[in-house]
Structure 1
Amino acid sequence: MTAVPERVGVLGGGRMGGGIAHAFLLAGADVVVVDQPDALARAEAGIRTAIDRSVTKGTTAIARDELIAALTVSADRRDFADRNLVVEAVPEVPELKRAALSAVEDVLSAGAVLASNTSSLSIDELAAGLARPADFIGLHFFNPVPASALVEVVTGKLTADAVVGQAQGWVRALGKTAVTVSDSPGFASSRLGVAIALEAIRMLEEGVATAEDIDAAMVLGYRHATGPLRTTDVVGLDVRLGIAEHLHETLGDRFAPPALLRRMVAEGRLGRKTGSGFFDWPEQ
């Protein structure tokens, strides 16, 4: 069975980057997380808290001290120089991602794989600024990363077949299922997830039913684990809006963001991370 890479890097220590780092740590990798200096303490604290939770729940056989020792947080991307895999997990802004990926590629050793955790941006467009696009791939993780069973492996036109095979094996080694898709707007999961969520928001906007009843229809009628509105709260309304705007631009009016979504984002009601979205989220 394929093992995870021995040395993994994660660019960005926010919710997704921290979750990716946590998942690789639990699988036995040595992990370096690189972020802005003012974000390092928060990133490290978040990952350590996640490690403590895993140890307490007994979901890892690795001792806490070993997991902590395998984690490094840094503000210097040169610490990626010895990594076998680096996963970029910065915000979904094309210019920001392209600049970040190029800067990381400059320090990677030959043969290292560079991946983007983008949920909707074109892998081919992101690869256009890279010197080694054959070693670049999309690895779209889902939130919360350790508990999620899925990773989308997104292949660009220039991604090497060997890299695709490696990525699929790494996903299996994390205990997750790889769904492999060719580069296209929204891939498979974001495209379908956003389509359902946008229609649910339109239904709420039109007064068809309450948020609770719209979600219950999908949970009880279609066996979804959570309804589309609660899922949007977890993902973040701002994240959903960004993906919808990208899909609207590339795929047409069926992905036009509803006015209600735009208004809630403008009001700062972004879902769980702000305590209020389509539902209220008391502090845990």
Structure 2
Amino acid sequence: MKVCVFGAGNMGARIAEVFLNGGHDVKLFDIKQDFLDRGVSIIDGDLSFLVSKGKLTEADKAERMSRLSSSIDRKDAKDAEFVMEVILERMDLKKDLLQELDGICPPNTIFASNTSGLSITEMAACVPHRADKFIGCHFFNPAQIMKLVEVVCAIQTSNETFQFAYDLMVSLGKTAVAVNEGPGFVVNRMLIPMMNEAIGIYADGIASPSDIDIAMQNGTSMKTGPLHTADLVGHDVNLAIMENLYHETGDTKYRPHPLLRKMVRAGWLGVKTGKGFFDYDGPFGKEIIKEKE
């Protein structure tokens, strides 16, 4: 199948990698060649790592990379069978992209968004002639490792589109869960308030970030604690999800903590900037735990 992935950032590149690993032809898109080059480099690096661990041969890597191409020209999506939107979490940008692609892609092309919380129904409504072929496929970071994909139906999504997307995610080796659109879907509706509460505990001076995470890892069997998870997701993304949940529900339990807003304003976005609730020795470096306060 010919898959077009729009957005060559960390998430988009890894989602493209998942489709490559699933045997599909993938074209990666972004607005600048530099962004595309970095996305391709991420994929190449991941596959090289698998080769170094003996989980992939050089021939396997070469074959997968041969099925990857990239472009800054959206018109090159004219033969797409499946479109994955993985651009910034801004509804206006997503709508602009989708409406342009609606005039480029064949009528039978299925459109999917990786949004972590924006309305799938609102996106589908901006392409009314194929609204029944619009769906959410929310991967989790890092997409090439995390098993879960939330398959999110808009009110307009047809049963056929849902089943196609659900079966596709399963064929990629993912664990798919069926979700009817609601603010935050399933995981973020529960996870984001927990992250927000952890931020509040730290801001109140009750415990350090490392002790908060250690407590949750050992007290609730979390694989990673809420603050390291928040660093991994990215605080700009966390803030956008919280604001959307608060706006959609009006429930104060979703109101972002002021410290989160302050960190986003400072550019302390977590792993991707090297600083969040923990410090990192590079964009994807080893976590350096702070001393107990």
Secondary structure (helix, strand or coil) at the match of 1:132 reads helix
Match of 1:23 among 18, 21, 29: 18
Map 1:203-282 to 2 at 5 A: 203-252=201-250, 253-282=252-281
Report the counterpart of residue 290 of structure 2 in structure 1: none
Match of 2:183 among 179, 182, 185: 185
SS at structure 1 position matched to 2:280: coil
One-letter code of the match for 1:45? S
Q: 1:24 to 1:59 in 2, by over 3 A?
A: farther
Following the alignment from structure 2 to structure 1, what is the Cα–Cα distance between the partners of residues 153 and 174? 18
| Partner secondary structure for residue 69 of structure 2 | strand
Conserved? CA contact 1:105–1:114, under 8 Å: no
Instruction: Confirm or deny: 8 A CA contact 1:123 1:154 kept in the other structure.
Output: yes
Q: In structure 2, what is the Cα distance between the partners aligned to 1:91 and 1:59?
A: 32
Is residue 106 of structure 2 the alignment partner of residue 109 of structure 1?
yes
Residue of structure 1 equivalent to 2:41: 45
The structural deviation recorded for 1:222 is: 1.1
Shift of 1:244: 0.7
Tell me the alpha carbon deviations over residues 191-245 of structure 1, each in whole angstroms, 9 at most, x when there is no partner. Answer: 1110110011011111121111111121111111101100000011111011111
Deviation, 1:111, is: 1.6
Tell which deviates more after alignment, 91-100 or 106-115. Answer: 106-115
Q: 2:268, 2:276 within 8 Å by CA — same for their partners in 1?
A: yes
- Give ranges in structure 1 of 5+ residues lacking alignment: 1-5
Q: Give distance in 2, aligned partners of 1:41 and 1:69.
A: 15
CA separation of 1:239 and 1:165: change in aligned 2, threshold 3 A: same
Q: Is contact 1:26–1:60 with CA below 8 Å preserved after alignment?
A: no
1:132-187 alpha-carbon deviations (Å, 9 max, x no partner): 10000000011100100100000011101011111111111111100111111111
Q: TM-score, with normalisation over the residues of structure 2?
A: 0.92
Residue equivalent to 2:199: 201
Q: Which runs of 4+ in 1 moved over 3 A?
A: 58-62
- What do you get for the CA RMSD once the two structures are aligned? 1.3
Encode CA deviations 1:91-119: one digit per residue, 9 max, x unaligned. Answer: 00010011111112221112221100000
Please report how far the alpha carbon of residue 55 of structure 1 lies from its aligned counterpart in structure 2 after TM superposition.
Answer: 2.8
Q: Which residue does the alignment assign to 2:291? A: none
| Partner deviation per Cα, 1:14-41 (whole Å, 9 max, x = no partner) | 1111010001111111100111133222
Whether contact under 8 Å (2:107, 2:130) holds in the other structure is no
> Scaled by the length of structure 1, what TM-score is found?
0.95
Q: Residue 86 of structure 1 contacts residue 114 of structure 1 at CA under 8 Å; is this kept in 2?
A: yes
2:199 partner letter: I
Please show how residues 91-106 of structure 1 align to structure 2 within 5 Å: 91-106=88-103
Percent of counterpart pairs with the same letter? Answer: 41
- 2:29 touches 2:71 (CA, 8 Å); kept in 1? yes
Is the contact made by 1:181 and 1:188 (CA closer than 8 Å) also made in structure 2? yes
Letter in 1 for 2:96: A
| Aligned partner of residue 199 in structure 1, secondary structure | helix
Structure 2 unaligned regions, length at least 5: 286-293
- AA matched with 2:131: P
Q: What is the aligned length?
A: 279
**Distance (whole Å) between structure 2 residues aligned to residue 9 and residue 56 of structure 1:** 28
Cα drift, residue 281 of structure 1 = 0.8
User: What is the SS of the residue equivalent to 1:200?
Assistant: helix
Cα distance change, pair 54–81 in 1 and its aligned pair in 2 (3 A): farther
2:20 matches 1:32: no
Change in Cα spacing, 1:115 to 1:76, as seen in structure 2 (3 Å) is: same
- By relative contact order (CA 8 Å, sep 6+), the higher-ranking structure is 1
Q: Post-superposition shift, 1:60?
A: 4.3
1:141 corresponds to which residue?
139
Task: Give the aligned residue type for 2:11.
Answer: M
Give the C-alpha shift of residue 262 in structure 1. 0.9
Amino acid at match of 2:166: Q
Q: Aligned equivalents of 2:55 and 2:96: distance in 1?
A: 37
Match of 1:87 in 2: 84
Q: CA deviation at 1:273?
A: 1.0
Residue in 2 aligned with 1:3? none
Q: Which amino acid aligns with 1:40?
A: L
AA aligned to 1:7 is K
